[in-house]
Structure 1
Amino acid sequence: MKRSRIGFGVIAMAAAGALVLTSCSSSNEGDKGEGTATGGGIISVNITEPQKGLIPADTTEVGGGKVVDALWEGLVYYDADGQTQMGVAESIELNDDGLWEVKLRDDAVFSDGTPVLAKNFVDAWNYAANPANVLGNQTFFADIAGFSEADDKEAMEGLVVVDDHTFTIDATPDFADRLGYSAYYPLPDVAFEDMDAFGQNPIGNGLYKLDGDNAWKHDVELNLVKNDTYVGPREVANDGLHMKVYASLDAAYTDLEAGNLDVLDQIPDTAFDVFQDTLGDRAVFQGGALLTTLTISENLEHFKGEEGKLRRAALSMAIDRDELIDVIFNGTNIPATDFTSPVVDGYTDKLKGAEKLKFNADEAKKLWAEADEISPFEGSIEVATNSDGPHQVWIEAVANQWNQNLGVESAPKLYPTFPAFLDDREQDVVGGPFRAGWQGDYPGAYNYLYPLYATGSSSNHGFYANPEFDKLLKEGVEATDHEETVKKFHEAQEILLEDLPSIPLWYQGTTGGWSESVDNVTFGWNSVPIFNEITKK
């Protein structure tokens, strides 16, 4: 059944500098730590093979992220609506010295029984921020006093352990908004003995733990069981998760229909027309926090300077987003108008330069010709993606549109696996435009801008650098007035629209489904199922 384009509701976020987090009562009060499974059973879910070891501050992709989020609990977590709830933290408040003061619960433990203490957070953050350790999420600590990518130091002066259950953070006014992201999870002391080995068999403090030493069978599955040592505010309504690695979403969808998979968190494009009819009330179709883009490295010939700006704008305007969304995605996505998401605070569709994100074949040809006057383009353009995901069809369609609308020879460049694709992106050897995008780590616009586009940032795989953009981001994140923060972020995005380090395509709707064997399936603000609430019939 074809649906009209999905509508997104905005999740209201706390004004920057105004956040005070404290424990609050809930229906679980008085029953913490019981974690009684009401439905029992193991829930089977789909994932992609994690790119790296399961170290929270080194996990930057969705497959590994699902596992890490199941194994750990941070100071806070985000509920299904994107609202912040207390996790290991009892309170997070600005003290009289203008520092974030974090007080921990005194009953939190890792799955091996060792206590979760203030030093476990501080040591993990200092390790992640140290450039000698080369972790993917290093720049998430850039707003803590004493951070420097250039210095090989063991500790940031902005992190101070006060006592076993208290530490302070000297950071920006909005810093507490981010603390549910996995980069900020704690690590037990044993992790620092051999971090590589730890990443293959990690010990977390979350709702689940690995089911034995051989729980991770690479490229096949990960098996998790309920963590009986967890004493936090949430409950686990099942016995564990069987996380199955699939070579394609089509194979996963076939398993879902056959009852061999309980929960699928993304419908393949081949089933968009039928999945709601097929699954009925077991289908999900809602707003999400995913933005799909095409990124072009700043280091590529013909895509630098003024010539590069002209070519990037031409490529963007030669893409008919509406046609692709209607034909391929059956109206389940929305054409992008900015670099964030409609579900985060500060979203707008009125940025200066947003006309570059609209289809205009004549203008695209004109801009490409102007670029050729600077330096003639010869050869073809390969558009890269991984073939073990759901993206090959629309990548082929984009290449065809560039052929037709620009007269530039273009074709897909397919990688066999997502990890192999990510490796080449990080090493800057893809050689052309590549599929990219962002699924929110926490519900804030800064999360869509800093990691992807700030100079030297962790997920800046286009190697973009613009000092004015960096300056506006810094001013925005340090502003204590919320409206000023939003204004600065809008100005920063207008610089991105001028330079187009990435070409925003569409906001991806959340599509998914579940089998007749499970109940209580909810997809969160970030399009990921709330695994711990799922029950087996």
Structure 2
Amino acid sequence: MRVRRLAAWTALPLAVTLGLAACGSGGDGGSGGSGNSAVSIQIGEPKHLVPTNTTETAGAQVLTGLFSPLVDYDAQNKPYEVAAQSITSSDNKVWTIKLKDGFTFHNGQKVTSEDYINAWNYGAYAPNGQDSNYFFEKIAGYPDLQGKEPKAKEMTGLKKVDDLTFTVTLAEPYIDFRTMLGYTAFYPMPEAAFSAPGVLKDSYEQAPIGQGPFKMKGTWQHDSKIDVERYDAYPGEKAKVQNIEFRIYQQLTAAYADVLADNLDVLPTIPSESLSTAPTDLGDRYQTSPMSSFQFLAFPTFDKDYANPDVRKAISMAIDRDEITKSVFKGSQQSARSFVSPVLPGYRENTAGKAGEFNPTEAKKLYQAAGGPKKIVISYNGDGGHKDWVDATVNQLKANLGVDAVGVAEPKFADLLTKVEKKTPVGAFRMGWVMDYPTMEDYLGPLYSTNGSSNYYGYSNPEFDKLVKEGSAAKTQDEAIAKYQQAEDILAKDMPVIPLRFGENVFGHSSKVKNVQMDLFQRVNLVKIEAAS
């Protein structure tokens, strides 16, 4: 998932916004060159800002400023401690987490082990309806917190040792648990977030209190902006700027115009229609970097029109990925024919096999034999820069399958997610993914497990679930990867989604900022960015 997770924009997987009415500080976004400077960063309207409920990139970008993770990742995607002093285990089942001393929440409260335990129990308790509930599944006692009337409110696997130490006992050994702890769901929440034990205040989400390098400045201005300011008591690396305005746009084209005019400082995703001119428009302010995004077309497998895997495979074979990547994305993305990102160990090319190959003749035969629907609807979020590639895709489906096809835009990514969560008929729908933490399991478990946190298509295969579980419990990385690859092979057979593209960060910034860096999770590094002299 910080994205880490579902993505709204076309070049990644998840984000959102409101337009020029949301411009906030206007042309002052990157003023000055001192520690009192402010920068503006485009995001989309987050779905949530509670750590255990934030599974899309817009919300995750904000939370990376407000919170400090237990671990982060180095250039080799290996975890290193940030808020944690150490995370150790002798058997990959019982883990001891020691916190660094000196961290405080933005209200001045000292961060303790109880703040992690309380936050994680809140996220795992099913009646709270947290989107990241799934991420606590590996902790002992998790099943007792599930269902409409859970047996318990606290997981037995969480135990306080002292104010700066707690243990986590997993139901089964998990080789990548330390790596997993960089995800947003594992942030702490202060006592002030709760009105009673296990009861989150309604107001908390509007002004989250974290322990990161920035603190909220005012409250979340929905569909407009979120302002944060540097937290000077932060014990880690201090931010170079005083204030950040996360500015919410409804259209990437409006944000791009603002970057060109120096009225917006950072645009994390260049709109597809501007990719051919952006290098010239922006000069050295046009940048690229590696990213873990995965764009795919998902199907409501519970819908009779798309229940047959052959229908889904036929649609895949009718799409010329290479042509769309070339004509729409100007080569800034690469065609995807596998279900995990090339940035990960264990990636294999073309795991989708024949279903990933462009073959319109065979596609039409298979589609007709499988009884595919006469009309294909592709729903997408209109705030993410997807229209051009969706239009190209539906035109290919019309020509290659001989069916009617149409793209339907939902105003915001949050709107699309809400509809598919409720199983409102939307036809096929675009989705994207940015890894939550760097393992194959993160591309498989959340998206395709029967109870996966981001399985919006109702896909379920017991053998797939079994293999992912076995991979998680493996004793070595090689054994884990072998199991995960077997699970990916099942996806190729069932084809619950169509892999389309792997992305990279393609971003731009104003002349008022420098040292703009973006990570594999499609997030701007808020500590490194500086105001230009």
What TM-score, normalized to structure 1? 0.88
Amino acid at match of 1:188: P
Say whether the 8 Å CA contact 1:80–1:530 is kept in structure 2: no
The DSSP-based 3-state class of the residue aligned with 1:216 is coil
> Residues 365 and 235 (structure 1 numbering): CA distance in 2 closer, same or farther, change over 3 Å?
same
Once the two structures are superposed, residues 294-336 of structure 1 have per-residue CA deviations (whole angstroms, 9 ceiling, x without a partner) of 11011111222xxx11100000010000000000000111111
| Overall identity of the aligned pairs, in % | 37
Q: Please say if residues 284 and 513 of structure 1, whose CA atoms lie closer than 8 Å, have aligned partners that are also in contact.
A: yes
Match of residue 14 from structure 1? none
Tell me the SS of whatever aligns to 1:217: coil
Partner in structure 1 of residue 426 of structure 2:
431
Q: Deviations over 1:427-477 (max 9, x none)?
A: 111431000010111122111111111112211101111100000000001
Conserved 8 A contact 2:290-2:519 = no
Cα-to-partner distance string for 1:389-423 (whole Å, 9 max, x where unaligned): 21011111111111000011110111122221121
- Identify which of 210, 214, 217 aligns with 1:211: 217
Q: Which residue number corresponds to residue 514 of structure 1?
A: 509
Q: Which residue of 1 aligns with 2:251?
A: 248
The residue matched to 2:468 in structure 1 has which SS? helix
For 2:336, the aligned partner's letter is A
| 1:467 aligned partner, one-letter code | P
Aligned residue identity for 2:101: D
Q: Distance in 1 between matches of 2:163 and 2:90?
A: 18
Displacement, 1:85? 2.6
**Residue 112 of structure 1: SS of its match in structure 2?**
coil
| Secondary structure of the corresponding residue to residue 289 of structure 2 | strand
Please report how far the alpha carbon of residue 51 of structure 1 lies from its aligned counterpart in structure 2 after TM superposition. 1.3
* Alignment RMSD: 1.6
Q: Which residue of 2 aligns with 1:413?
A: 408
AA partner of residue 203 (structure 2): A
Shift of 1:98: 4.8
Partners of 1:104 and 1:267 in 2: how far apart?
39
State the Cα deviation string for residues 503-529 of structure 1 (Å, max 9, x = none): 110101210011111111111122222
- Residues 340-395 of structure 1: CA distance to partner in whole angstroms, max 9, x if unpaired? 111122111153x42211211111112112202xxxx4541110001122101111
Aligned residues: 489
Judge conservation of contact 2:350–2:356 (CA < 8 Å) in 1.
no
Counterpart of 1:195, as a letter, is K
Question: Does 394-403 or 468-477 show the bigger shift?
Answer: 394-403
- Stretch moving more, 192-201 or 285-294: 192-201
Residue identity matched to 1:109: T
Report the Cα distance in structure 2 between the residues aligned to 1:491 and 1:517, rounded to whole angstroms.
49
Is the 2:267–2:507 contact (alpha carbons within 8 Å) kept by the matching residues of 1? yes
Instruction: Name stretches of at least 5 consecutive residues in structure 1 with no aligned partner.
Output: 1-36
Q: Identify which of 114, 130, 133 aligns with 1:138.
A: 133
Partner of residue 266 from structure 2, selected from 258, 263, 268 = 263
> Using a 3 Å threshold, how does the CA distance of structure 1 residues 379 and 361 change in structure 2: closer, same or farther?
closer
Counterparts of 1:97 and 1:225, CA distance in 2: 39
Q: Note if 1:44 corresponds to 2:50.
A: no
**Residue 208 of structure 2, aligned match among 199, 202, 206:** 202
Structure 2 distance, partners of 1:38, 1:79, is 28
The structural deviation recorded for 1:97 is 9.2
- The answer to whether the 8 Å contact 1:300/1:431 transfers is no
Are the aligned partners of 1:462 and 1:501 in contact in 2 as well (CA < 8 Å)? yes
Please report how far the alpha carbon of residue 278 of structure 1 lies from its aligned counterpart in structure 2 after TM superposition: 1.9
Cα distance in structure 1, aligned partners of 2:278 and 2:353: 33
Residue in 1 that maps onto 2:169: 170
Structure-to-structure mapping, 1:94-173, within 5 angstroms: 94-95=89-90, 98-148=93-143, 149-150=146-147, 151-171=150-170, 172-173=174-175
Partners of 1:386 and 1:414 within 8 A in 2: yes
Cα offset, 1:281, TM superposition: 1.7
How far apart, in 2, do the equivalents of 1:139 and 1:97 lie?
Answer: 19
CA distance in 2, matches of 1:314, 1:350: 16
- Give the match for residue 303 of structure 2: 300
- For 2:43 and 2:276, the matched residues in 1 are separated by 23
Q: Name the SS of the counterpart of 1:196 in structure 2.
A: coil
Q: Counterpart of 1:337 in structure 2: which amino acid? A: R
Judge conservation of contact 1:263–1:515 (CA < 8 Å) in 2: yes
Once residues 253 and 35 of structure 2 are traced to their aligned partners in structure 1, the CA distance between those partners, rounded to angstroms, is 28
For residue 185 of structure 1, the aligned residue among 179, 184, 187 is 187
Q: 1:72 aligns with which of 67, 89, 93?
A: 67
- Secondary structure of the structure 2 residue equivalent to 1:521: coil
What code does the residue aligned with 1:203 have?
A: I
**Cα contact 1:80–1:522 (8 A) shared by 2:** no
Q: 1:528 to 1:189 in 2, by over 3 A?
A: same
Contact 1:201 1:210 in 2 (8 A): yes
Query: What is the rounded CA distance, in whole Å, between the counterparts of 2:327 and 2:483 in structure 1?
Result: 37
Alpha-carbon distance, 1:491 to partner:
0.5
Shift of 1:182: 0.3
Counterparts of 1:86 and 1:92, CA distance in 2? 8
Q: How far apart are the structure 1 equivalents of 2:379 and 2:300?
A: 12
Are the aligned partners of 1:82 and 1:524 in contact in 2 as well (CA < 8 Å)?
no
Match of 1:342 in 2: 342
Shift of 1:229: 2.3
Amino acid at match of 1:170: T
The offset of 1:286, in angstroms, is 2.6
* Structure-1 residue corresponding to 2:25: none
Q: Does 1:496 align with 2:499?
A: no
Cross-structure match for 2:500? 505
Structure-1 separation of matches of 2:477 and 2:443: 17
Q: Confirm or deny: 8 A CA contact 1:90 1:103 kept in the other structure.
A: yes
Instruction: Tell me what 2:369 maps to.
Output: 370
What amino acid sits opposite 1:137 in the alignment? S
User: Whole-Å Cα distance in 2 between the matches of residues 100 and 408 of structure 1?
Assistant: 55
Q: Distance in 2 between matches of 1:315 and 1:96?
A: 45
User: 1:22-58 CA deviation, whole Å, 9 max, x = no partner?
Assistant: xxxxxxxxxxxxxxx9654011100001113x10010
| Unaligned runs of at least 5 residues, structure 2 | 1-32
Partner Cα distance (1:97, 1:243) in 2: 39
